[in-house]
Every structure is written in C-alpha cells, then in structure tokens.
Chain A
Amino acid sequence: MIHPCLRLSINSRLSTQTHYLFKKLSTVPNVDPLPSTSNTESKDTSQEPEVPNPLRYHDYFQVRNLVKVKDMFDAKVHLGHKIGSLDERMKPYIYGVRQGQIIFDLDQSAELLRDALNFVAHIAYRDGIVLFVGQSAQNSLLIEKTAQDCQEFAHTRFWRQGMFTNSEKLFRAVTRLPDLVILTNTLTTVLEPNPAIGEAAKMCIPTVGIVDSNCNPNLITYPVPGNDDTPSAIQYYCQVFKTAILKGKKAKQDTLKLLSEKQEVQHN
C-alpha cells in the first residue's frame, strides 16, 4: 500500500517526466488527427513556415478519397475463407458468415486502408524505400510490375531467413533496408506466416499488410482485412498503393519546386 502523499508525488513526477518527454521528442506541433471543419484556405498562414508540413493535415496527399466501399466490393475484397480456417484474432473485422464463408466488414476495411494509404504516401514523400512482399505465384508478376511502375522494390519469392536481420552477411555488403514493407499476402505458400513480418518488426520497419481471415494481424503495423487470393482484389490493392506512392512522390517534387522558386526570388 502506497501512502496517499507519496502516491501524489509519484504521480506528479510521472506527469512531469512524460511532459518533458513529449516536449523533447516533439517535432510535430498541433497535429489535427481529424479533418478540420473549416476550410484550409481560411487558416491564418502568416505564421506558417515556407513549406507546408504534411503531418499537420489529415489528408495532405488526397489519398483517403481513393478508397470506396463499392469498388472494394466489386473487386471481391469482402470474401474471406471458410469459417473453419478462421484466426480468432481476425474476429473484430468480420461482418458475418454466409453459408460457412466469412464476409469482411468493408466499412472497417476501407477505413483501415485509408489510414494505410496515408502512411504509405507519407513514407514516399519522405524518400523512403518501399518493398512489396507477397508469396502467391499467380499474383507475383502483377506485384512486381506495380513496384516497377512506382520505382520501388518487390520480393515475391521464397523468403530466405535473415534477409533483413542478417542482410550484410547474406548480401555480402552493407545493405540499406527498406523503410516500409507492403505485404499483399501475409502467408507463405504453405500457409505459415511470412517470416518477413517478424523480421521487419525486429528491425523496426513498419508493415502494411492485407490480412485474410486465416492470418494473424497482430504484428502488422497497419493491417487491412480483406481477400488476399483473388486476382481482382490484388489488382485493386496494387492500384491504390501505386497511386498513393506516386502521389507522395509528386507532392515531394512539387515542394522542391516551390522551394527552389522561393530561393530564386530571394536571390533576385
């Protein structure tokens, strides 16, 4: 039993510590995580720095409106596996069971996909390296093509143990690891969790992953519940992820252009 006075002092010390920590680590002032009701143009921009900080906007890259539940439904994203193969940890994302087949709640999936796309666009904006991973033979060409189209990387084959954790020995050189791993399929061909997920978590690399009803979503930073087998669904994911990455890169180019123009004006 802690004495009430003592407890009070511990509490206050804790709060000051957290406050200190917050101040020390804070590089992002005034993030509004919800879309502001007022128009962004009406904001007072006189105090803003020259370049807008994307982290201060709910949807800086305009990627959240890419996701529509109707499109997901048409791409058959809502279809899960049979109830017998259900992973208990996927229960909150399920809408119901139709004739023994699991149907995902697309409202939840769409919201999670929007968050994931926003994160992906931010990483692309910050010059991060994105790696597409997915082990399904029928979709691997599509995934590789997507990565090629947005000038990123893909690995759709067998995952050799230690590609992240022991990369310098494996590749015989200092290796730059990716800043984000996008998994279009979190299981291997023998329905084991892809070792890339654990390795990315070990190396502190965030993951965005499509999790079907027989997958474990716990280690994935931004899980998106949905069908991970059907080519039409994979096509849909690839298309939205590609658009998000390209939008992030475009925003970066625009910002650089703006900066160079401003410098020129100052120079003159």
Chain B
Amino acid sequence: MASSRLEKIGTIFTRVTGLLRAGAMNVNEKPIWYDVYRAFPPKVEPLYSRPIADVPIKEIIYPEDSIRAKLHKALGKKMPGYNLLEKNRPTVSQKIILQTLQHQKEDPSLSEDEALAKAIETYNSEIRQVKADDIPEDFNKPKFGYYKTKPSLANEFKRAVETKVDVKKILSED
C-alpha cells in the first residue's frame, strides 16, 4: 500500500484521506475501518504531537480519614487480614470506622478518640460473641482449621486491644 510511514505526522485517518483525495488509493480499496472511523471518530484525535493538557491532580481525602489513621496507628499489624475477592462484607477497619461515626452521631459530646475507643471495645465484644456462637455441636468432628485459624485470629485481636492498646493512652501521647 502506497502510504506514508511517518506515523508521527497526522493520524491514520488523515493519511488515508490524503491518499484517497490524491487518487493514490482507489475509493473502492479503502480500508474497512475508514467508514467506521468517519462515522464514530475517537473523542480525541490520536495525534502523536498532541499538547499535554495542564490538568491539576487532586488528592483524594475522606472526612473519616483521621479516624482511619488513628486506628491503623493504634492497631497497626494487629489488624486481621481480609479477603480481596470478597466484595460484600465490610473490612474490620470499615466496621470500626462506621461504628465510631455512629457513636459520634448518637452522642455529639464524645471526642473522636473516645468514640474510636468505644467502637474498638464494641467490636472486641462482637468478636467474643462470634467465637461463642461458633462452637461446633459435635466436638469430635471439628471443622477443618477451626482450632488453628479462628481462635488465633480472635486472640490476636483481643490481645492487641486489651494488653498493648490502652487506646486512650496511646492516642493521648500524640
């Protein structure tokens, strides 16, 4: 095909249009994409030398980020892991943050730190609840991995919250 191979000048459309106009390419032999491109051109012309748009890039910050920062600073690696493929269940940090906001809403006199400490305590008792409910009916046939994973995760969190983290104390240091 007799066409220019200088891909940085013009676009594929302008180059083929030039060939058609000059008669170097027969109208019946035009590439099959040509009419489609004409009917549905791309939003931005695919020019190599397109000038760079001067668009400011903004930071994405949410109002509850201060709570999230405090929570992660307090618990850090003691936070339990979560499954990336699970889309419907909120993560532990999401749960605690929602709980904190709820506490603040119910009692506006609570400071953020107090509400957070309360939320962590609530979550901790919730974990204990789950653990009590989870006891299998038949102890002779325990679920696979039950003794290995579940208690250790809960214990880890419990230890984190109860022993190391006197949250109020840690937060007051900052």
Q: Which A residues lie at the B interface, using CB under 8 A?
A: 21, 24-25, 27-28, 31, 33, 55, 74, 83, 88-89, 91-92, 94-98, 103, 111-112, 115, 118-119, 122-123, 126-128, 165, 179-180, 198, 201-206, 218-223
Q: Is the CB of B20 within 8 A of A25?
A: yes
- Complex contacts, A165 vs chain B, CB 8 Å: 5
Within the complex, the shortest CB–CB distance from A152 to chain B, in Å, comes to 15
Q: Which of B31-39, B91-99, B100-108, B112-120 contacts A (4 or more CB under 8 A)?
A: B31-39
Q: For the complex, what is the distance from the CA of A59 to the CA of B121, rounded to whole Å? A: 55
Instruction: Point out which of A115, A126, A198, A218 has the most chain B C-beta atoms below 10 A from its C-beta.
Output: A218
Q: Is the CB of B12 within 8 A of A221?
A: yes
Question: Could you name 17 residue pairs across A and B whose Cβ atoms are closer than 8 Å?
Answer: A28-B35, A28-B38, A31-B38, A89-B50, A91-B54, A97-B60, A98-B59, A98-B60, A111-B43, A119-B36, A122-B40, A126-B32, A165-B5, A180-B33, A201-B7, A219-B46, A221-B37
Q: Is the CB of B33 within 8 A of A89?
A: no
- Complex contacts, B35 vs chain A, CB 8 Å: 27-28, 55
**CB < 8 Å: which of A97, A206, A220 contacts B59?**
A97
**Chain A residue at smallest Cβ distance from B32:** A126
Q: Is the CB of B57 within 8 A of A218?
A: no
Within the complex, the shortest CB–CB distance from A15 to chain B, in Å, comes to 16
Cβ of B145 < 8 Å from any Cβ of A?
no
- Complex contacts, A220 vs chain B, CB 8 Å: 46
Taking A88-B52, A89-B50, A111-B43 as contacts, is the C-beta distance between A123 and B60 under 8 angstroms? no
Q: For the complex, what is the distance from the CA of A28 to the CA of B48, rounded to whole Å? A: 28
Task: Compute the total of residue contacts between A and B using a CB distance below 8 Å.
Answer: 107
| Other contacts beyond A180-B33, A219-B8: 15, CB < 8 A | A21-B21, A25-B17, A88-B52, A91-B55, A91-B57, A97-B60, A123-B36, A127-B32, A201-B7, A201-B12, A202-B5, A202-B6, A203-B3, A204-B1, A205-B12
Q: For the complex, what is the distance from the CA of A23 to the CA of B37, rounded to whole Å? A: 17
Taking A33-B39, A55-B39, A219-B46 as contacts, is the C-beta distance between A128 and B58 under 8 angstroms? no
**CB < 8 Å: which of B6, B7, B39, B42 contacts A31?**
B39
Q: For the complex, what is the distance from the CA of A20 to the CA of B48, rounded to whole Å? A: 29
Cβ of B143 < 8 Å from any Cβ of A?
no
B residues 51-104 near A (Cβ < 8 Å) are 52-55, 57-60, 87
Taking A201-B7, A221-B12 as contacts, is the C-beta distance between A123 and B32 under 8 angstroms? yes
**CB < 8 Å: which of A103, A126, A218 contacts B36?**
A126
Taking A31-B39, A91-B52, A97-B57 as contacts, is the C-beta distance between A218 and B47 under 8 angstroms? yes
